[in-house]
């Protein structure tokens, strides 16, 4: 965790927890090439052997206006087709790195989550939102389509018909509408957003970390499989915590009527 970043702020906010802040507040945290590279680098190359105690991450945006408003269109002004394509590969890889990150990520959305910003939030395990937040994928109104998971993760989150309505029209949802549609898990007052996200992250951190990682893998990889295949995947994931020190500690703690002290082993 010695790397320094231009567009991200990394903080250890509590034992076992990190907060990652998209940090371009003057641009409403729009994702330029550098931010894409840094998001990819952090989430893809994070050294779990060097910092194995990290058990949950909160991803948020700097300031109170925006989580992320998507790709930086000022940077893209006049960009050649080839340069656009190369930049988008970076954005694709950054979104995939968030999605594949082995420990849970809570998106704490504090303002606009539009376009690629909404897609980043959708790449997280679940979303908490300020009641001032809003969500949308307006790419079609600019003559393009979402390209970092929006056409795939959004229907899986809210259903295909509602996803099509949002995509085709570019409609922006309020936080409460997003809650009603199943896009977010919780809506909070702005001043309580990070407190609520942190409280949930701390609850996650109390669970067995080996088991949490395996549960995340099982849910994510099994969701779109036929049930029979998904059940096989679940049993494969089940084996890892069974043979862990944490499993033995969890059972001992229960029988000794004390909180477990998991070691992530």
Report the CATH number that the domain containing residue 216 is assigned in CATH.
1.10.12.10
Angstrom distance (rounded) from CA 158 to CA 237: 27
Do 241 and 197 fall into the same domain?
no
Express each pLDDT in 110-141 by its tens digit: 999 999 999 999 999 999 999 999 999 999 99
Structural domain boundaries, residue 24: 8-205
Q: Is the pLDDT of residue 1 over 80?
A: no
Reported as a single tens digit per residue, the pLDDT across 222-258 is: 998 999 999 999 999 999 999 999 999 899 999 999 9
In a shared domain, residues 105 and 232 = no
Position 51 scores a pLDDT of 62
Which residue out of 96, 139, 196, 228 is catalytically annotated? 139
The pLDDT of residue 45: 85
Q: Mark whether 139 is an active-site residue.
A: yes
Residue 27 lies in a domain: yes
Is 260 within the bounds of a domain?
A: no
What share of the chain in percent tops pLDDT 70? 97
Q: Model-level pTM?
A: 0.93
**Domain assignment present for 42:** yes
Number of domains in the chain: 2
Active site residue 119: yes
Here the CATH number for the domain that contains residue 194 is 3.90.226.10
Domain shared by 212 and 201, yes or no: no
Q: For residues 49 and 42, what is the distance between their CA atoms, to the nearest angstrom?
A: 14
Q: Which of 119, 245, 256, 261 is catalytic?
A: 119
């Amino acid at each position: 965790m010695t790397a320094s970043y231009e567009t991200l702020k990394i903080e250890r906010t509590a034992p076992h927890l990190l907060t990652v802040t998209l940090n371009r507040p003057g641009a409403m945290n729009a994702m330029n090439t550098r931010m894409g590279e840094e998001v990819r680098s952090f989430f893809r190359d994070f050294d779990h052997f060097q910092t194995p105690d990290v058990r949950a991450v909160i991803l948020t945006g700097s300031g109170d206006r925006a989580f992320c408003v998507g790709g930086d269109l000022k940077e893209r002004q006049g960009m050649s087709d080839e340069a656009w394509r190369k930049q988008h590969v970076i954005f694709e890889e950054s979104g995939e790195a968030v999605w594949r990150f082995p420990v849970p990520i809570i998106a704490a959305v504090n303002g606009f989550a539009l376009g690629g910003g909404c897609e980043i939030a959708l790449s997280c395990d679940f979303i908490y939102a300020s009641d001032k937040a809003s969500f949308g994928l307006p790419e079609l109104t600019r003559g393009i389509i979402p390209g970092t998971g929006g056409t795939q993760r959004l229907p899986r989150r809210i259903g295909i018909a509602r996803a099509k309505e949002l995509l085709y029209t570019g409609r922006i949802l309020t936080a409460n509408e997003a809650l009603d549609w199943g896009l977010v898990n919780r809506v909070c007052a702005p001043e309580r957003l990070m407190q609520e996200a942190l409280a949930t992250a701390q609850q996650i951190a109390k669970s067995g970390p080996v088991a949490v990682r395996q549960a995340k893998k099982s849910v994510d990889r099994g969701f779109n499989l036929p049930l029979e295949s998904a059940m096989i995947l679940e049993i494969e994931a089940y084996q890892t915590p069974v043979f862990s020190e944490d499993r033995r500690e969890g059972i001992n703690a229960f029988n000794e009527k004390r909180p477990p002290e998991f070691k992530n082993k």
